[in-house]
Amino acid sequence: MSRDATPPAPPGLREAKKQETRQLISDVATDLFLSQGFEQTTIAEIAAAARVAKKTVTNYFPRKEDLALDHQDTFVASLAATVSGRQAGESVLTALRRAFADAAAAADPVAGFSGPGFAHMIADSPTLSARLRELHDLREAALAAALADTTGTPRGDITPRTAAALLGAVHRTLFQRIQELTLAGQDNAGISATVIAEADRAFGLLESSLADYASVGTAGSPPRAVTRPDREPKKP
């Protein structure tokens, strides 16, 4: 190696540079999507605006939708993470109910708070709308797997899948509600107040079936699955 050769950058610097480039591309793409629409914006335009090669864009974001929905990994894992991290003695329903209220109070983008421009962009794009439905499905599947694991049930069993479908439906409906209120022009504070009250009613519909489902017991106690009353034959 000659004295004039530039030594390779430390791994930390290389990773930081990658993150900077990724964020730059994401920010540029978002600005273009908001100004001219998702469907109308091309990868070539994004690359030109970010001053990078088109291949660089696709290396960081294999799908065009990934440029717009940059919280998708966190979104998909969110419900399962709440289940895995819930408190001792807390049922899945209680944990998810609490987590949603916290997210709504904080106007968390993962819960659906995106701002009017972003909400319009998704509503106006068939591609993004379809991808968002896929992400809801993936989140429900991740929740079903977490429920199966926490109750010691096979992942293909109908019980965790049904519980995940019910809980996922409430979250999907609340997400859509936040988007509706955003498109209607309400601010985040007003939306939060509305959906927290509505979430209480929505989750309340599941209490009769899931109130004690997969509750975390005390140390050394296994989680409880669905509790049902004993069914003895009626005496004549």
Q: Domain count of the chain?
A: 2
Given a cut of 60, is residue 61 above it in pLDDT? yes
**What percent of the chain clears pLDDT 70, i.e. is strictly above it?**
86
Number of residues assigned to the chain: 236
Burial of residue 46 (CB within 10 Å: 0-12, 13-18, 19+) is buried
Read off the pLDDT of residues 23-34 as tens digits, 9 standing for 90 and up.
Answer: 999 999 999 999
CATH number at residue 61: 1.10.10.60
Average pLDDT over residues 194-203: 97
Given a cut of 70, is residue 234 above it in pLDDT? no
Please tell me whether residues 78 and 178 are part of one structural domain. yes
Given a cut of 50, is residue 223 above it in pLDDT? no
The confidence score (pLDDT) of residue 5 equals 53
Select from 30, 53, 68 the last residue of a domain.
68
Q: Are 215 and 91 in contact (CB under 8 A)?
A: yes
Global pTM value: 0.82
CA separation for the pair 201, 8 (Å, rounded): 58
DSSP 229: -
The structure tokens listed for 180 are 């509706």
The structure tokens listed for 100 are 């949603």
Given a cut of 70, is residue 224 above it in pLDDT? no
Given a cut of 90, is residue 137 above it in pLDDT? yes
Residue 6 resides in a domain: no
Please tell me whether residues 76 and 181 are part of one structural domain. yes
Given a cut of 50, is residue 228 above it in pLDDT? no
Please tell me whether residues 81 and 182 are part of one structural domain. yes
Mean pLDDT, all residues of the chain: 88
- Domain span holding position 42: 11-68
Neighbours of 124 (CB within 10 A): 13
What pLDDT band is residue 88 in, cutting at 50, 70 and 90? confident
Please tell me whether residues 64 and 16 are part of one structural domain. yes
What pLDDT band is residue 10 in, cutting at 50, 70 and 90? low
The confidence score (pLDDT) of residue 12 equals 82
- The distance from CA 185 to its chain's CA centroid, rounded to whole angstroms, is 23
Please tell me whether residues 31 and 120 are part of one structural domain. no
Average pLDDT over residues 57-77: 93
Please tell me whether residues 76 and 190 are part of one structural domain. yes
Distances (CA, A) of 72 to 27, 64, 121, 136, 194: 16, 13, 16, 10, 25
What pLDDT band is residue 230 in, cutting at 50, 70 and 90? very low
The confidence score (pLDDT) of residue 220 equals 32
